[in-house]
Amino acid sequence: MYTLVFILAASLVAVLSGASTFRQIGDHVADIPQSLLRKLGARWCYFRRLFGWPSEPTIRRVLENIDADELDRVVGAWLRERACRDTDGMMILAIDGKVLRGAWTDENEKFTLFSAMIHGVGVTVAQTQVPAGTNEITQVEALLAGVPGRAGTQVVVTMDAAHTQRETAEHLVAGRGFNYVMTVKGNQPKLLESVFGKCLPLLRNSPDHVVEERGHGRMSRWSTWITDARGVDFPHGRQVGCVRREVFDLAGERISKEHAWVVASTDAADTTAGDLDRYVRNHWGIENKSHYVRDTVWGEDAHQAYTGSGPQVMATLRNMAIGILRLNGVDTIKETTERICRDRMRVLPFLAT
């Protein structure tokens, strides 16, 4: 009775209207105006004399039984093409995992998704489920398998300290032709010691790059030092650096100070201290621009989806909704979904991205 494309399109409109569960998607789809149903590809019912729409049980069965990995691949490719069409030949990806606290796997394990988001624009272009009994460290290859390395495009992958692994570095550089920027912490004690020893003499000098920001009743300063990685035993490491963050009150008294130690495969011709500062700081945009938004706008952690592909497909629809809005220059995601909910026809300019 309904094509798969139409059910997915109607579900996306519902998510863009703020729907966060299968029941809400069904209710929102039932409220879509006839003119919009026609544009989405609904079929005309000659008996009822209107365009038909699927019920909530139908939508639920479809979303729980489609190939979630294939949907992620198609959606990621679509978003990536549009997010990168105006770039200058470089794509910076942040990778990180997110536990869906309301969902569980068939093995009674927490349901974890691993995703990659483009820095700055905040569009998630790849996602995969972390199998039960393992962790996201083992899933870097699977996550980035659908991200092509295009001629003339440099791909840089940023990650937190959990992913600072020799195997990951080898796969990214030797296997895929990508570059990496990795944070170094105590889980790699020998590497941390080497990077610390290499950078410590630099801290006696003026930083290579400084950024200051004022807001929320305080001032933050990021100071960055960078140098070559000679003597540091890590696959394809070419540069190491330190980013020091200091927080001051408005009277100038320092409140806190912390250091981030970094190893990168990029060379000095491509990455300056300012670039390294942006890579490290923008990496956490995946938390603020993706994970946090999915929780606060759609209540993802409260959605108890268990069956089949349901949890992953719902996350994919949320990723797609966020990506469509951000590609249209929208940062106020919650307000925009509320605005679309008041008039579903307002979704059309966004779907024409």
Q: What are the tens digits of pLDDT across the range 70-83?
A: 999 999 999 998 88
The answer on pLDDT for 147 being more than 60 is yes
The pLDDT value given to residue 142 = 94
Show the DSSP H helices in 31-184 as ranges.
34-40, 56-65, 68-84, 140-144, 166-170
Higher pLDDT, residue 328 or 146: 328
- Cα separations in angstroms, 142 against 116, 125, 147: 11, 13, 10
- pLDDT the model gives residue 233: 95
pLDDT at 150 over 60: no
Which range (106-110, 307-311, 313-317, 327-331) has the least confidence?
106-110
Going by C-alpha positions, the residue among 285, 197, 209 that lies closest to residue 240 is 197
Q: How many domains does the chain divide into?
A: 2
Distance CA 291, CA 111 (A): 14
164 and 256, same domain (yes or no): yes
Least confident of 34-48, 179-193, 227-241, 298-312: 298-312
pLDDT for the residue 85: 66
For 92, the enclosing helix (H) or strand (E) is: strand 90-104
Residue 102 CB neighbours (<10 A): 16
Given this model, what pLDDT does residue 101 score?
Answer: 84
Give the percent of the chain with pLDDT over 70: 96
User: Would 177 be classed as within a structural domain?
Assistant: yes
Is 264 found in the same domain as 191?
yes
Is 265 a member of any domain? Answer: yes
Q: Work out the pLDDT band at 304, boundaries 50, 70, 90.
A: confident
List helix spans (H) across the chain: 4-16, 22-30, 34-40, 56-65, 68-84, 140-144, 166-170, 189-199, 273-283, 285-286, 292-298, 310-327, 333-342, 348-351
Residue 151 has pLDDT above 60, yes or no: no
Is the pLDDT confidence value at 264 over 80?
Answer: yes
Residue with tokens 């059910």: 7
Q: Judge whether 144 lies within some domain.
A: no
Which pLDDT band, with edges at 50, 70 and 90, does 269 fall under? confident
Domain boundary among 253, 271, 289: 271
Residue 322 is encoded by which pair of tokens?
A: 């966020």
First-to-last CA distance in the chain? 28
Residues 6+ positions from 286 with CB-CB distance below 8 Å: 94, 95, 96, 115, 117
86 pLDDT higher than 60: no
Same domain, 171 and 218: yes
**Average pLDDT along the chain:** 92
Taking 90 as the threshold, does the pLDDT of residue 90 lie above it? no
Flag whether 183 is in a domain. yes
Q: Is residue 47 part of a domain?
A: yes
Same domain, 166 and 263: yes
The position carrying tokens 């990723």 is: 319
Show which of 251, 271, 291 is a domain's final residue: 271
pLDDT at 333 over 70: yes
pLDDT number for residue 61: 96
Residue 176 has pLDDT above 70, yes or no: yes
How many CB atoms sit inside 10 A of residue 254's CB?
Answer: 11
Those residues whose C-beta lies under 8 Å from the C-beta of residue 19, and which sit 6 or more positions away, are 25, 27, 28, 298
Residues paired with 228 in a beta bridge:
239
Q: Where are the beta strands (DSSP E) in 173-284?
A: 179-184, 209-215, 218-228, 239-249, 254-264
Identify the pLDDT of residue 88. Answer: 65
Domain boundary among 246, 271, 296: 271
- pLDDT band at residue 87 under the 50/70/90 scheme: low
Distance between CA atoms of 60 and 19, rounded to whole angstroms? 13
Q: Which residues contact 284 (CB under 8 A, 6 or more apart)?
A: 94
pLDDT higher at 101 or 115: 115
Domain that holds residue 246: 153-271
In a domain, 277, yes or no: no
